[in-house]
Amino acid sequence: MRPVNLARRLLLVGAFASAVAAHAAPADADVFVRIGPPAPRYEPIPPVPAGPHRWIWTPGYWRWDGARYIWAPGRYVWREHGDWRPGYWDHRPGGWVWVEGRWR
């Protein structure tokens, strides 16, 4: 392949990639799911891990994989500060939206 053709192809690929990236949804965009999540599963809370850290249990939840709900099991995380507010599915006019858990 001649250098001029290679440069032209690279330029076209770069322009195409830029156009696609410009029209992509932002990372923090809400994803609406028309079907509500199943009821939460019962999870027995295991013993707190040993160690110097202050641990907090974050409960499991249903996550949407684009086609169906999949259970994400609960787990222990290091306490950063304050209290943990678990994530939840919020019913809005366009469907169901996952609201991430956070520290408060």
The per-residue pLDDT for range 39-67, each reduced to its tens digit, is: 999 999 999 998 888 899 999 999 999 99
* 3-state secondary structure (DSSP) of residue 22: helix
The pTM assigned to this predicted structure is 0.66
Give residue 104's pLDDT band: very low, low, confident or very high (50, 70, 90). Answer: confident
- Report how far Cα 42 is from the mean position of its chain's Cα atoms: 22
Helix extents (H) in the chain? 3-23
